[in-house]
């Protein structure tokens, strides 16, 4: 296993690595630096675009451009012009709430959640953006929404409320996009960090960044810990398989922790990393269908 920093981008809050199999490019974001990045599999040819507010996640669209979760709503984004256009403004439960992590299911829906920025109150919601751009609420009572992803057959939806120190599993109705039967998938202990960004590999195992403790964890479909990787930064934030064979694990990080009591001291803080030699492949990500 080989871990290396491939882009020293010093993201304030790097998040949302997304490998696009069509372009053979990696996208990621700086949530607090209000920026989208794109590069090749080795971190070369970096391009970036500013966005007009804090960004939680992006989904590439089948017909070009992207769908963005910005602080106050869902936006369409044109990479050619750099313009972001509001599609749906979200009514938050307070002025400390913003949209955060999101992913696309195999039917082309975009599932994205919100977080309470002081990380102390369960004011966040979970939304589903259908392919016709209708937005519906599918869960509530969330403090920090993170790590949405699906089992390979999309019958199970995984989701982390980071401050609950757990990854949750739901039954997922692929026809309707509805959730049911919420249960705890895994609980994180004091040395595991908090569950942050996540992905599922081709074997159905869940990978989660253990933020604030330098960890990446791999769990079996039954919730058994299979592997823990120690990273060279404290604030590791999200993971995604990519590369031509989908066998490279990309990892984002943040420059400094947004909560008191956590100190990032590593010189590579805020970098984009890649881990090679795992011998494990991921699954291709879907594009938004609208």
Is 18 within 8 Å of 285 (Cβ atoms)? Answer: yes
Q: What is the sign, positive or negative, of the torsion defined by CA atoms of 105, 290, 17, 137?
A: negative
Phi and psi at residue 164, in whole multiples of 5°? -80, -10
The reply to whether 47 sits in an annotated binding site is: no
Is 192 a known ligand-binding residue? no
Catalytic residues: 196
Token pair listed for 73:
């709503």
215 pLDDT higher than 70: yes
CA 112 to chain centre: 9
Find out whether 264 is annotated in a ligand binding site: no
Summarize pLDDT for 91-115 with one digit per residue, the tens.
999 999 999 999 999 999 999 999 9
| Cα–Cα distance for residue pair 63/77, rounded to 1 Å | 12
For residue 57, what pLDDT is reported? 98
Sign of CA dihedral 277, 8, 22, 220: positive
Given a cut of 70, whether residue 290 has pLDDT beyond it is no
In angstroms, the CA 194 to CA 208 distance is 9
Inform me whether the pLDDT recorded for 289 exceeds 70: yes
Question: Does 42 appear as a known binding residue?
Answer: no
Overall pTM > 0.85 = yes
162-171: pLDDT as tens digits: 999 999 999 9
Interacting residues of 95 by C-beta distance below 8 A, sequence separation 6+: none
State residue 56's pLDDT score.
98
Q: Does domain 2-276 have CATH number 2.120.10.30?
A: yes
Q: Which two tokens stand for residue 187?
A: 């609980």
CB 250 within 8 A of CB 242: yes
98: annotated binding-site residue? yes
Query: Is pLDDT of 185 > 70?
Result: yes
Q: What are the residue ranges spanned by the domains of the chain?
A: 2-276
């Amino acid at each position: 296993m080989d871990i290396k920093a491939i882009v020293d981008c010093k993201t304030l809050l790097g998040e949302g690595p997304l490998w696009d199999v069509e372009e053979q490019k990696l996208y990621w974001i700086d949530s607090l630096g209000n920026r989208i990045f794109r590069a090749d599999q080795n971190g070369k040819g970096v391009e970036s675009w500013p966005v007009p507010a804090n960004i939680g996640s992006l989904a590439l669209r089948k017909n070009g451009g992207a769908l963005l979760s910005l602080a106050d709503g869902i936006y369409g984004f044109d990479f050619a012009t750099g313009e972001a256009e509001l599609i749906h403004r979200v009514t938050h439960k307070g002025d400390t709430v913003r949209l955060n992590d999101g992913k696309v299911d195999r039917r082309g829906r975009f599932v994205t959640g919100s977080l309470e920025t002081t990380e102390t109150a369960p004011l966040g919601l979970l939304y589903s953006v259908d392919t016709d751009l209708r937005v519906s609420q599918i869960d509530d009572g969330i403090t920090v929404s993170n790590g949405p992803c699906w089992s390979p057959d999309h019958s199970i939806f995984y989701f982390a409320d980071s401050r609950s120190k757990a990854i949750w599993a739901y039954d997922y109705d692929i026809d309707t996009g509805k959730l049911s039967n919420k249960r705890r998938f895994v609980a994180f202990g004091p040395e595991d960090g908090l569950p942050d960004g996540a992905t599922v590999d081709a074997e159905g195992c869940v990978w989660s960044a253990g933020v604030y403790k330098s960890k990446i964890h791999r769990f079996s479909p039954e919730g058994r810990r299979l592997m823990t990787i120690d990273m060279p930064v404290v604030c590791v934030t999200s993971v995604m398989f990519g590369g031509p064979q989908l066998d490279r694990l990309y990892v984002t990080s943040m420059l400094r922790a947004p909560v008191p009591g956590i100190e990032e001291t590593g010189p590579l803080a805020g970098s984009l990393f890649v881990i090679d030699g795992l011998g494990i492949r991921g699954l291709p990500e879907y594009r938004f269908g609208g």
